[in-house]
Structure 1
Amino acid sequence: MTKSTVKAMPALLSIAILAFTGTLIETSMNVTFPTLMRTFNVSLRAVQWLTSGYLVVMALTMMCSAFLQWRFSLRALFDTATVTFVCGAGLSLLATHQFGLLLLGRLIQAGCAGIAIPLMITFILSEMPAEQLGYYMSTAGMIVNLAPALGPTFGGLMTTWGGWRLIFLTTLPIVALTWLLGRRTLTAFSHPGQRVPFQFRQFGVLALAFLLFNFALGQLGGNWSHRLTGVGLLCVCVALLAGFNRLRHHNTTDLLNLSLFQQPAVRATFMLYAMIQLVNLCVSLVIPTLVQLAQHVTAFRSGLILLPGSLLVALINPWFGKLYDQLGGRVPIVGGLLTMMAGLVLTTRYQRLTWVIGFFILFSVGRTMSFGNTLTTAMQRIPQALQADLNALYSTGQQLAGSVGTTLGATLLALPLKTTSHPSILLNGQVIFGLLAVYICGLVLVGLKLFRRA
């Protein structure tokens, strides 16, 4: 390890902890959904916005990450991420019987991870040795992919010990200490920003399209009038995206550099990166909710189901990055997707909690093996000058896909809750996992084509 790398490690650690905490709390509320449904007297499709709305705001913030990193210094962005986390947690703690206040706090808090995750990746690309890029990028991938998997376990533990508010009370001191570390270590790497224009119209159009898209997906699980509303909103989203494309051609700068999609490798890796997150967040929502509603398992126990797989991949994740450095992307990415698919197929035989634990271990290994290495593959295939734009594009797609996965999982899982019994709910969960396995099979084909082209 070089002297410059040793100097950069504490700074990277501070950003990574902030990104991890912001991402951990992303799914920590998932296991509290049944409790919150009773406390605030809201439906599952309404309460899932605590996660899907969080992810939409993360996507919108990450969409602006290239602009933010040009316009503001590293330390200013770090401070802003910390403030959004603290303010959001404060509002959430004040919510007693006002679901809207809790949701508002969650949406504000999402800005923390939306700023910190792209900041962490950009810092790695600019300050870490190129020959160890796979190792560090894999570690970054672990943070943004492992933390959502640990979230339900953490949330279940806090809820069992002292209620859902303890989720926010526990993370606030961690963020405060991380801020103190960052203030001491980030100064040497922080440089003044440059004045660049912000495309407000592009941002407004995409923000509206993202929100309507998630709302439309939630409507598809209702009655016929809700489904027609959902289809109509999806048509509006298509029109908004067409409008965004027209705006791009009339502005000198782009909020998102979509011209990167002209490269086949970028298109393929983007699909893999975003869709792995979609499946990941869908699974992380469905499992705890399913076992609580079907088997009356406590929030803590439902979160513990995800813990063995999450801890295992935390231990072996650095090896996946080294595997990429030694063998390239084909083995960890395609192999990881096949392992994910095996785990999903296993859970279709859902009968006992031990089956789910075994499935999630396989699934977690495959997810971690492929996720971070997919982004590394994309970064190594474009010029360094475009890496910030690519980071913004992939981060936005990742969070938007995660939001869609959360909404989709809640919508499909809620379908049998109206008229059917617990065994039918289990069957509905099996169908969800079976559909996800078929979907991963398609991603395997995309991965094989990507490396055959290379």
Structure 2
Amino acid sequence: MSTFMISYIIFAVFVLAVLNIMLRRRKSAPAAVETADGARADVRPATSSGQSQGGLGDIGSRGKVVVTVMLGAFVAILNQTLINVALPHMMQDFNVETATIQWLVTGYMLVNGVLIPISPFLIAKFPTKTLFVSSMSFFAIGAFVCSIAPTFAVMLAGRLTQAVGAGIIMQLMMVIMLSIFPPERRGVAMGTVGIAMMFAPAVGPTLSGWLVEHYTWRLLFYVVLPIAIVDLVLASLWLKKTPRKGNPVLDMKGAIYSTIGFGGVLYGFSEAGSNGWGQTEVVVSLVVGSLFLVLFTWRSLRSEHPVLNFRVFRYPVFTLSTVIGSVINMAMFAAMVLLPVYLQNLRGFTPLDAGLLLLPGAIVMAIMSPISGWVFDRIGARALAIVGLIITAVTTWEFSKLTMDTPYSHLIWLYIFRMFGMSMLGMPIMTEGLNALPRHLYSHGTAMANTLRQVAASLGTAFLVTVMSNRTKFHVEQYRNEMTETNPFFMDVVSQLKQVIPSDEAVSELLYGLVQQRATVEGINDAFFVATGLTVLALLMAFFLKGKKHKSPSA
């Protein structure tokens, strides 16, 4: 197991230990409230799966609350999409290897993955304003540390600190939106927040490519930091401080099981995508992670105070929407992972050019998000999901026909239509599932859905990269078998090349380079073909969604 995996485990244990100390200090007496006649009455402690949602209630004007959480979501997602383009430059500045610098992404993902299951407890334990301001403070401090980091170790510490804040912010945003809007208006509300969630990935790669190409990667964090500070100020001014409504209990064993389980599985999938499934580190991580996830599930089902309430799966609509969303996430990452390889490694586009190609599609998705929400409020998720998945399946299929000569404009329009289809899927399907839950399970529902989607994204990335790699090797062998003296077409090409390049060694090197290039394109096409199959699978499941929107069961 690598040094950085051990460092991650130590960091996770430290976070849990600090959390445990905080809880012991706050556990001295039950909360009390003052009744109308002035008497004081004890409030029964609520579990993390109980009625309380961390003091959610009158937390402020809807408009101001939406702006605050939108800005928080925007900066958290923007930060995540900015760094990928800058990794090669960071490698040079910190003088580290590829496997080491990748921990800036892997570590961020692991901390997010661990915090998501624990977030329902935090939301129930702490007042909304306190939790939001604290999370954004963590994020801002992490951004500042990253901007001045003199060494890789300091840089990694800053990224992990950012991840603590970002992980909680994203979960809290979903619960806030579900709590302040009635079911019949949640489509538009979630779609509006979706603007920030979709616009950030649109701006991120392009902005990052331009800054890194012309300035320094440290500017990426100088861009993020002021936005985080502004959101901190807005949260302090606009969010009302609500009283703590209970004293939920944290199942410490469950928290430890989830930390090791989700951490191991996410790490294993992440490493499998780059190093292959047969590596000892990958196998051990997946086996240990899966074992602890089984223990975590068993513990959660038996505990009176589960960290993550698996009883949300008693609601069929939530279960179906979560499965569909997870499959869609796997397919969605096809374009996010495979297109940069095609555009930059094979076609030779700069990061800025690649970002500009993806920008129009992401902007269309952001514009369509509130429109899809408005339609969802009127007809439900079924029709939207079916139409969106048909468009996504067709466009993903078209991406399986790439060549080295595919026009730039064709790629732009294809990606625009793909994002148009996907704009009908994410928020409507998730909102459909969450609407089926009673109010006291909102935080657990959002945590469960986001956890499974993150695991699905990691699995999908590893799976599709594996498909691409294996099929590339297959096509290389296939082409090499055709490069024989008995093949007249091949010998004719060799003859023409020798007229221009006299060296046999140079001709051979050029031919094998072209073979590798063409085989890689074919491997990417095969991976997109598999992603098309995943989209069709989600489409078949979408027919089982209800045609009308659901009213939330009473709390």
TM-score norm. by structure 2 comes to 0.73
User: In 1, are the aligned partners of 2:297 and 2:310 still within 8 Å (CA)?
Assistant: no
**What's 1:402 paired with?**
457
After the TM superposition, which of the residue ranges 247-256 and 395-404 deviates more from structure 2? Answer: 395-404
Alignment of 1:177-188 (within 5 A): 177-187=230-240
**What's 1:446 paired with?**
541
Once the two structures are TM-superposed, the CA of residue 219 in structure 1 deviates from its matched residue by 4.5
SS in 2 for 1:382: coil
Are 1:388 and 2:455 matched, yes or no? no
After the TM superposition, which of the residue ranges 114-123 and 143-152 deviates more from structure 2? Answer: 143-152
Once the two structures are TM-superposed, the CA of residue 73 in structure 1 deviates from its matched residue by 1.0
Once the two structures are TM-superposed, the CA of residue 409 in structure 1 deviates from its matched residue by 5.5
- Alpha-carbon distance in 2 for matches of 1:101, 1:436: 38
Once the two structures are TM-superposed, the CA of residue 46 in structure 1 deviates from its matched residue by 5.3
| Gapped regions of structure 1 (runs ≥ 5) | none
Are 1:431 and 2:526 matched, yes or no? yes
- Alpha-carbon distance in 2 for matches of 1:223, 1:16: 37
Cα displacement string for residues 382-422 of structure 1 (whole angstroms, at most 9, x for unaligned residues):
22232222122112223333344455566666776999733
2:289 corresponds, among 225, 237, 244, to 237
User: In 2, are the aligned partners of 1:52 and 1:403 still within 8 Å (CA)?
Assistant: no
Question: Structure 1 residues 5, 179: CA separation in 2 closer, same or farther (over 3 Å shift)?
Answer: closer
SS in 2 for 1:64: helix
Question: Structure 1 residues 270, 36: CA separation in 2 closer, same or farther (over 3 Å shift)?
Answer: same
1:329 corresponds, among 381, 396, 401, to 381
Question: Structure 1 residues 54, 286: CA separation in 2 closer, same or farther (over 3 Å shift)?
Answer: farther
Cα RMSD of the aligned pairs, angstroms, is 3.0
Question: Structure 1 residues 17, 405: CA separation in 2 closer, same or farther (over 3 Å shift)?
Answer: farther
Alignment of 1:274-285 (within 5 A): 274-285=326-337
More contact order relative to length (CA 8 Å, sep ≥ 6): 1
Are 1:53 and 2:107 matched, yes or no? yes
Are 1:247 and 2:299 matched, yes or no? yes
User: In 1, are the aligned partners of 2:318 and 2:432 still within 8 Å (CA)?
Assistant: no
User: In 2, are the aligned partners of 1:74 and 1:191 still within 8 Å (CA)?
Assistant: no
Alignment of 1:350-365 (within 5 A): 350=402, 351-365=406-420
2:432 corresponds, among 366, 377, 396, to 377
- Alpha-carbon distance in 2 for matches of 1:223, 1:112: 30
Once the two structures are TM-superposed, the CA of residue 251 in structure 1 deviates from its matched residue by 2.5
**What's 1:13 paired with?**
67
Q: Which amino acid aligns with 1:368?
A: S
Question: Structure 1 residues 247, 209: CA separation in 2 closer, same or farther (over 3 Å shift)?
Answer: same
Cα displacement string for residues 225-255 of structure 1 (whole angstroms, at most 9, x for unaligned residues):
9445533432322221221123224532111
- Alpha-carbon distance in 2 for matches of 1:288, 1:192: 47
User: In 2, are the aligned partners of 1:31 and 1:302 still within 8 Å (CA)?
Assistant: no
- Alpha-carbon distance in 1 for matches of 2:133, 2:284: 41
SS in 1 for 2:188: helix
Question: Structure 1 residues 275, 90: CA separation in 2 closer, same or farther (over 3 Å shift)?
Answer: farther
- Alpha-carbon distance in 1 for matches of 2:382, 2:171: 25
**What's 1:310 paired with?**
362
2:125 corresponds, among 71, 74, 97, to 71
User: In 1, are the aligned partners of 2:273 and 2:465 still within 8 Å (CA)?
Assistant: no
Q: Which amino acid aligns with 1:288?
A: P
Q: Which amino acid aligns with 1:450?
A: L
Alignment of 1:179-258 (within 5 A): 179-187=232-240, 190-192=242-244, 194-220=246-272, 226-227=278-279, 229-258=281-310
- Alpha-carbon distance in 2 for matches of 1:5, 1:247: 34
Question: Structure 1 residues 175, 222: CA separation in 2 closer, same or farther (over 3 Å shift)?
Answer: closer
- Alpha-carbon distance in 2 for matches of 1:317, 1:172: 26
Q: Equivalent pairs: percent with the same residue?
A: 24
- Alpha-carbon distance in 2 for matches of 1:193, 1:178: 25
**What's 2:186 paired with?**
133
User: In 1, are the aligned partners of 2:201 and 2:362 still within 8 Å (CA)?
Assistant: no
After the TM superposition, which of the residue ranges 115-124 and 148-157 deviates more from structure 2? Answer: 148-157
User: In 2, are the aligned partners of 1:45 and 1:218 still within 8 Å (CA)?
Assistant: no
Once the two structures are TM-superposed, the CA of residue 97 in structure 1 deviates from its matched residue by 5.4
**What's 2:82 paired with?**
28
- Alpha-carbon distance in 2 for matches of 1:446, 1:46: 40
After the TM superposition, which of the residue ranges 336-345 and 16-25 deviates more from structure 2? Answer: 336-345
- Alpha-carbon distance in 2 for matches of 1:327, 1:45: 48
Are 1:117 and 2:170 matched, yes or no? yes
User: In 2, are the aligned partners of 1:125 and 1:133 still within 8 Å (CA)?
Assistant: yes
Once the two structures are TM-superposed, the CA of residue 135 in structure 1 deviates from its matched residue by 0.6
Once the two structures are TM-superposed, the CA of residue 341 in structure 1 deviates from its matched residue by 1.6
SS in 2 for 1:343: helix
**What's 2:38 paired with?**
none
SS in 1 for 2:546: helix
Once the two structures are TM-superposed, the CA of residue 13 in structure 1 deviates from its matched residue by 0.6
Cα displacement string for residues 183-206 of structure 1 (whole angstroms, at most 9, x for unaligned residues):
110026x33353211122212222
1:262 corresponds, among 299, 314, 319, to 314
Once the two structures are TM-superposed, the CA of residue 274 in structure 1 deviates from its matched residue by 2.7
- Alpha-carbon distance in 1 for matches of 2:69, 2:325: 22
- Alpha-carbon distance in 1 for matches of 2:451, 2:207: 25
After the TM superposition, which of the residue ranges 267-276 and 32-41 deviates more from structure 2? Answer: 32-41
**What's 2:7 paired with?**
none
In terms of Rg, which structure is larger? 2
**What's 1:343 paired with?**
395
Question: Structure 1 residues 358, 32: CA separation in 2 closer, same or farther (over 3 Å shift)?
Answer: farther
Question: Structure 1 residues 150, 52: CA separation in 2 closer, same or farther (over 3 Å shift)?
Answer: farther
User: In 2, are the aligned partners of 1:48 and 1:406 still within 8 Å (CA)?
Assistant: no
User: In 2, are the aligned partners of 1:32 and 1:164 still within 8 Å (CA)?
Assistant: yes
